[in-house]
Chain A
Amino acid sequence: MSKQINVALIGNPNTGKTSVFNQLTGLKQKVGNYPGITVEKKEGVCKLDRGVKAHILDLPGTYSLNTTSLDESVAVEILLNKKDKNHPDVAVVVCDVENLKRNLLLFTQIKDLRIPTILVINMADRMSRSGISLDIPLLEEKLDTKIALVSTRNATGIDRLKELIIGYQTLSANPNIDPSVIAPDYFKKLEETFPEQERYKLWLVITQDVNFMPIEKQLIKDRSSFATKSKSELKRLQQKETILRYQFINGLLKETYRVDRNAAKGFRAGLDKVFTHKIFGYLIFFLILLAIFQAIYGWSKYPQGIIEDFFAMASEWVKTTLPPGVFTELLAEGILSGIGGIVVFVPQIAFLFLFIALLEETGYMSRVVFLMDKLMRPFGLSGKSVVPLISGTACAIPAVMATRTIENWKERLITILVTPFTTCSARLPVYLIIVALVIPEGRFLGLSYQALTLMLLYLLGFGAAIVSAMLLNKVLKIKSRSFFVIEMPGYKAPLLKNVAYTVWEKTKSFVVGAGKIILAIAIILWFLGSNGFSDDFENAENIVRKRIATNGLSEFNALAMADSLAVYKKALKDSVQKKVYRIGDTAISDSLKLRTNELTRQATNQEIASYRLENSYMGHLGKVIAPVVRPLGYDWKIGIAVLTSFAAREVFVGTLATIYSVGSDEENTDTITQRMGAEIDPITKKPVFNLASGISLLLFYAFAMQCMSTLAVVKRETNSWKWPALQLVFMSVFAYLVALAAYQLLS
């Protein structure tokens, strides 16, 4: 039976901690959340020598054990709580050789908790370029620890680290610093009141303004003999503690750390001058956004097309190969198309995270925050919100996932909640068809009304996002860090391995995490649309065939068929006249007969599908909600389409095509547009799609949360049903009210 060593990786942000984690665990890693909160939990397994395994926990990056965010509290809690199952046997503190002084602050704090601690000095490959030399043995002695000098870029030093982890029991667990000198009386009293506890641990429990370890915190409050100091006094003491630690670190680095100041300073300064420049800075950022947009909007189309075709083929294959029945239908129409609907997002997610990982790895992302801070501040957002908001114009799903880069939980939540307002590409098919139907042709200042309407819709999406961000910033009572301190890391060439890990991990977390919910909803929607309880549904085929036999095809289909046949006939006759074909009149009439049969078959199938949908559960639901959507100018048919398009907005067009029993062809929407234009309201005798109901629909789709996949991703990213539920209700109610107002004003 092999035993497992619990290892916690901890370090400042930007020290390459994640690279060390990747090196240790390879692909044997798991990313999830800590229970009940949104902090990301990364863990993995590392095989060491002699059959020993290490469980590696990558704690959230932190500058010290003084917590200012939920992420940091999690790290501190795990380090303090010996009962926590994640509590480490050995802590590995990762430092960046260029920022050793600052990074060591955290090291000394962890050491003072009496946890066996290994020091990793990372980015050793940068030492010569930065003119740094280190006396490792002396540093080990002064810090009372063991050091692994690591370069994740060149993959050196990892073996030494693994050896140190195996031998963790020989590491010293003695503290570096005696913090009691900052307030001797106070610490003495502490010690007398809690003789069984460690001093530094007590000190942390007292000073940290977070709700971890409620029992111990309560304990301290309950001892009446023990007077808690005022907040400002505690803060002053923390300040003293920090100064004390820096004195210790400065002293020991003086003897062990040499840096030639003249080496390689111009590189960062030069790049900063360009990237944070008044004009070039924004221009470069704009170009990067453009490239991201192009990737998720344009490039993704090709792999997405292949994925769609593949799942369509698979579904067809199942239907023709397996014996017909409920199970086959469930597999082909429900499950396979549901999975297809999940996998189809993979290219967009992969592309977006490719870019984001590159921006983060190179250190550029901090410059974006620096550039955009002033602009985003009034909305309660940070510069990092810009990337998700812009990506949302292609698709909200990767955009919501991209908010992971925002450390501040309140900013991140606001960004998640408002991103679905931006006009994503799934709204476009709906917009295009309705704009073509109801917006008159004509020009204003050289621009067509239709183009102007589209542009307004895009602006409206952004406007709604920004305004609701402002509102949420006021309304949301979430305690979060109110100050702005952003580290500007040095520029680095990205480690492609890390980029690849990020892309892989995000894609996997979407398919596995959010996919379950999407699949479940897809199957429910499919079930509602293809099952019914009435006899009408059961006998749909017979009823429709009988109807066609006595009354003929529906008026629209009959006319469309006649048109189509006339065109075909003319073409045939023309080609005979031009001697392209040499065929006689009988052949022509045979060909026409074949054509007629084929078209009749298609139209019959379409009318059966329409009848089935009308009498399915979904159809009944549509009729039930008809009174609700009536004030918006929609009939029950549009009601059904609104319901089914909860799966994804573009489904609206396909559902209408089925209901109006016309073919739905994604490439060619002329027929469905014509058919929609011809739909007459039986009560008012006016077209159903008029200016008022059209605008009402456009506004409804601009604001409503008609996308189950986004909801699933929001659930996944916020780790609770509360926020997606709130988002769904708020957006739907808002969309309803706006659409209602528009219809009532215009009609």
Chain B
Amino acid sequence: MDGTVAHLKRGQKAIIKEIADGALPIKLLELGCLPGNSVELVQVAPLNDPIYINVNGSHIAIRRAMAALIQVTLTEEAQTEQ
């Protein structure tokens, strides 16, 4: 199943598919947000934004608008977990 990081539910995991070209700050890539890496939604802030993700071992918080630019494929493991 495909979607973006913004669609993930808490605890759900996915693999990063592609990143909208040039739309993301290079900093996010440096923190490990690269195609092929795994991403997990750890927490959602009380007002639903920002979100807290674990990407490739980096724990970072980003806003939903940015998360929506990261295309992912949900992994089986996460889907059965839910």
A residues lining the B interface (CB < 8 Å):
63-64, 66, 68, 99, 101-102, 105, 232, 235-236, 238-239, 242-243, 246, 268-269, 272-273, 276-278, 281-282, 366, 369-371, 373-375, 481, 483-490
19 more CB-based (< 8 A) A-B contacts, given A66-B27, A369-B61, A485-B28: A63-B27, A68-B27, A102-B32, A102-B56, A235-B22, A235-B26, A246-B32, A272-B42, A272-B43, A276-B45, A366-B61, A374-B45, A484-B62, A484-B66, A485-B27, A485-B66, A487-B31, A487-B59, A487-B61
Known: A272-B43, A281-B46. Is A370-B30 also a contact (CB below 8 A)? no
Knowing A99-B57, A102-B57, A486-B60, the reply to whether A68 touches B43 (Cβ < 8 A) is no
Tell me if A276 and B43 are in contact (CB < 8 A).
yes
A-B contact pairs, 27 of them (CB 8 A): A63-B27, A64-B26, A64-B27, A66-B26, A101-B57, A102-B32, A102-B58, A235-B22, A242-B30, A243-B29, A243-B34, A269-B42, A272-B42, A272-B43, A366-B61, A370-B52, A371-B45, A371-B46, A373-B61, A483-B25, A483-B27, A483-B28, A484-B61, A484-B66, A485-B60, A488-B52, A490-B59
B9 contacts the other chain (Cβ, under 8 Å)? Answer: no
Residues on B facing A (Cβ under 8 Å): 21-22, 25-32, 34, 42-43, 45-50, 52, 56-63, 66
Which B residues touch A489, using CB under 8 A? 59
**CB-defined contacts of A64 to chain B, threshold 8 Å:** 26-27, 30
Task: Name the distance in Å between A11's Cβ and chain B's nearest Cβ.
Answer: 13
Contact count A vs B, C-beta below 8 Å: 110
Chain B residues whose CB sits within 8 angstroms of the CB of A488 once the complex forms: 52, 59-61
B74 to chain A, nearest CB (A): 20
Q: Distance in Å from the Cβ of B32 to the closest Cβ of chain A?
A: 6
Provide the bound-state CA to CA distance between A66 and B52, in Å.
23
Bound-complex Cα distance A696 to B48 (A) = 43
Give chain A residues whose Cβ lies under 8 Å from the Cβ of B42: 269, 272
Chain B contacts for A68, CB-based, 8 A? 25-27
**CB pair B25 A232 closer than 8 Å:** no
User: 8 tightest A-B contacts by CB?
Assistant: A374-B47, A488-B59, A278-B46, A486-B61, A64-B30, A483-B25, A370-B61, A242-B29
**A373: nearest chain-B partner, CB-CB:** B50
Is there contact, CB below 8 Å, between B46 and A282? yes
Residue of B nearest to A375 (CB): B47
| A551–B47 CA distance with the chains assembled, in angstroms | 72
Q: What residues of chain B lie closer than 8 Å to A282, measured between beta carbons?
A: 46
Q: Assess the A66–B61 pair: CB atoms within 8 A.
A: no
Which residues on the B side are within 8 Å of A105 (C-beta)? 30
Does the CB pair B56–A101 fall under 8 Å?
A: yes
Q: Which residues of A contact B60 (CB under 8 A)?
A: 485-488
Separation of A273 and B42 alpha carbons in the complex (Å): 9
- Return the contact of B31 from the options A102, A236, A243, A273 (Cβ within 8 A): A102
Chain B hits for A277, CB < 8 A: 46
| Alpha-carbon gap, A273 to B34, bound state (A) | 27
Residue of B nearest to A69 (CB): B27
Closest CB of chain B to A12's CB: distance in Å? 9
Q: Is the CB of A232 within 8 A of B22?
A: yes
Chain A residues within 8 Å of B58, by CB: 99, 102, 487
Within the complex, the shortest CB–CB distance from B17 to chain A, in Å, comes to 14
What is the minimal beta-carbon distance from A425 to any residue of chain B, in angstroms? Answer: 31
Distance of B48 from chain A, by nearest CB (Å): 8
User: What CA separation (Å) do A369 and B43 show in the bound complex?
Assistant: 14
How far does the alpha carbon of A268 sit from the alpha carbon of B48 in the complex, in Å? 21
Bound complex: CA A102 to CA B33 (Å): 11
* Bound complex: CA A485 to CA B58 (Å): 11
